[in-house]
Amino acid sequence: MDLTFATWDHDRVSALHDGRLSVPGVALESVVAPTSKLFPLAVTEAKYDITEMSISSYILQLSRGGSEYIALPAFVSRAFRHAGYFARQGSGITTLADFAGRRIGVPEYQMTAALWMRGIMQDEYGVSCDAIHWRTGALDEGVRVERLELALPKSMRVEPITAGQTLEDLLLDGQIDGLLAPKPPKAFLAGDPRLVRLFPDYEQAEEDYHKKTGFFPIMHVIGVRKSLCEKYPWLAKAVYEALVTSRDMAVARLRDIWLGNANRLTLPWLSASIERSIRVLGSDYWSYGYERNLTELEAVCRYSMQQHLSARQVAPSELFHPSVMEG
């Protein structure tokens, strides 16, 4: 059976893309593309048979009646997000609590990074999404729009920026006061002093957050076309097991590089990063599986409802194929 397999180029899935690993009974046609291209295709036309998906958009679709895909608890993208809170120098914002009542930019209201960042603001600082005037659009170049239509309360203020503008421009011009950014804006990387990161020692903030919550924020899942899973009941588990093996191969390779005789990656503090990851997160620091991530999945579903994305409260058990719910 020939199936398309579309993800970004994570090391955790590379063995399935380059042919070192296969799914029994399946010939995978590899598609490697940025998630900015894959995610809209997943929610609008379900182009690929097996695809990487935004967990936020997936929950939103399920709450509205369903998706063409059923997910597997293979969390190919996870990311701490304290590094992504920015403010304008002189705005009076020194902590996330100061975001309340302010104009804050975010590339997409529904994106998973923003879902987590607003959840952190609510849980840790008492700032509700309703208390902010949101501006949405491209971070520092190009054009960005919501991949799914939002159905927010009329009291919510979520306003797209004008075509040709970027959130970075608006922040520097004083038209917004802060940013939720999935990556550092170009001006910040260039050393512009007008952009301030709210957590300068974000690694320590993220470590403290993990110690408190146990979370390593889940960003993306893998979806398999539902109709295929119905026709081939063995498929979902076979794909999931291959994804687990591919992840294990990536971790083993990284360990070999770490403990090798020479630093084969262009990262001066590679050893320090790996040792810290294991010390803080444990040996299974990039965990897959439903049960071991259930508390975190409950938080994601709760955030979606609290932030007016879900049309109803979605339970974590609804997200995944029944054959992969253990472990």
E strands, 45-139, in order:
50-54, 69-78, 85-88, 103-106, 133-136
Residues 204 and 241 in one domain: no
The one-letter amino acid code at 200 reads P
- CATH number of the domain within which 56 lies: 3.40.190.10
87 lies in the same domain as 209: yes
Query: Rounded to the nearest 5 degrees, what angle is found at the Cα of 210, between the Cα atoms of 209 and 212?
Result: 65
In whole angstroms, what is the distance from residue 302 CA to residue 18 CA? 37
* Full pLDDT tens readout for the chain, 327 residues: 999 999 999 999 999 999 999 999 999 999 999 999 999 999 999 999 999 999 999 999 999 998 999 999 999 999 999 999 999 999 999 999 999 999 999 999 999 999 999 999 999 999 999 999 999 999 998 788 898 999 999 999 999 999 889 999 999 999 999 999 999 999 999 999 999 999 999 999 999 999 999 999 999 999 999 999 999 999 999 999 999 999 999 999 999 999 997 888 999 999 999 999 999 999 999 999 999 999 999 999 999 999 999 999 999 999 999 999 875
**Which two structure tokens, joined as six digits, stand for 124?**
């840790």
Range of the domain at 104: 82-213
Q: Please tell me the distance from the alpha carbon of residue 272 to that of residue 255, in angstroms, as a whole number.
A: 13
Q: Which of 213, 235, 254 is the last residue of a domain?
A: 213
Q: Is the pTM of this model over 0.85?
A: yes
Count of structural domains, the chain: 2
Q: What is the pLDDT of residue 263?
A: 84
Nearest by Cα to 303 from 178, 218, 184, 188: 218
Gap between the Cα atoms of 271 and 72, Å rounded: 31
- In this structure, the answer to whether residues 52 and 21 fall within a common structural domain is yes
- Extract the tokens encoding 180: 């939720």
The strand pairing partners of 30, in sequence order, are 5
- 100 and 57, same domain (yes or no): no
| Helices 270-281 & 202-213 angle (0-180, nearest 10) | 20
pLDDT at 227: 98
Of 221, 212, 183, the closest CA to residue 58 belongs to 221
pLDDT score of 33: 97
Asked if residue 260 and residue 157 are part of one domain, the reply reads: no
Same-domain pairing of 24 and 8: yes
Torsion of Cα atoms, 82 then 35 then 249 then 24, to 10°: 140
Last residue of a domain, one of 213, 233, 266: 213
Please count the residues of the chain: 327
Q: What is the DSSP letter of 220?
A: E
3 state DSSP class of 212: helix
Backbone angles phi, psi at 145, to 5 degrees: -135, 165
Same domain for 101 and 205: yes
Whether residues 194 and 285 share a domain: the answer is: no
Any residues with CB less than 8 A from the CB of 291 and at least 6 apart, and which?
325, 326, 327
**Are 221 and 75 found together in one domain?**
yes
Indicate if 55 and 149 belong to the same structural domain.
Answer: no
Q: Are residues 234 and 162 in the same domain?
A: no
Q: Would strands 50-54 and 69-78 be described as parallel, antiparallel, or unpaired?
A: unpaired
* Residue 91 half-sphere exposure toward CB, CA atoms < 13 A: 31
CA-to-CA distance for 199 and 72, rounded, in angstroms?
33
Please say which residue of 191, 213, 235 terminates a domain: 213
Residues 202, 290, single domain; the answer is no
